[in-house]
Structure 1
């Protein structure tokens, strides 16, 4: 669909991009994603360490910028995290249904 990119099964409006990184929160680092909107860094998400926290596949808003500054939140999926970032950062939702 033109104007959208896919993250998992989610369709995300154009303007978002993502960079996979290692975040130095624990020894050896954790899987992370930098979330960009229109070439501006808006959030850093980390995948919660399964062994340390008895979770699998969950994500954490490590830090946010702008309206997300000071926010910390857990998400069950990456899609949920991106939807939330889009909802609380921009006037129009970044995540669309179907």
Structure 2
């Protein structure tokens, strides 16, 4: 993942995602402590998409969405546009 700059309020946790035998490299995408998406790193040279990211599953407004992204920054930015607004500050 390196030193990816991500949108404010977002955090990422590396995870092995059980989509293939042995699992795939993936990221859990959190927005203000809420899990909003699961991304996997594409490792398929046959489709010339190696190194890109895939929205494996999303929650809330992202439910049912599937999309490819060139970079993790692009993925998190797109996810940010399809999630609920930032939570209101606590009084």
**Category of TM-score, reference length = shorter chain:** 0.7 to 0.9
Gaps of at least 5 residues in structure 1 are: 1-6, 93-98
Q: Hey, which bits of structure 1, 4+ residues long, moved more than 6 A?
A: none
Task: Report how many aligned residue pairs link the two structures.
Answer: 84
Give the secondary structure class of the aligned counterpart of 1:89: coil
Q: Deviations over 1:63-92 (max 9, x none)?
A: 000000000001111010000000111337
Gaps of at least 5 residues in structure 2 are: 87-91
Q: Deviations over 1:20-70 (max 9, x none)?
A: 000011111100000011111000000012345332210000000000000
RMSD value, Cα: 1.7
Q: TM-score, normalised by structure 1?
A: 0.76
The correspondence for 2:19, drawn from 2, 25, 29, is 25
Which structure's residues are more often strand, by fraction? 1
Equivalent residue number for residue 7 of structure 2: 12
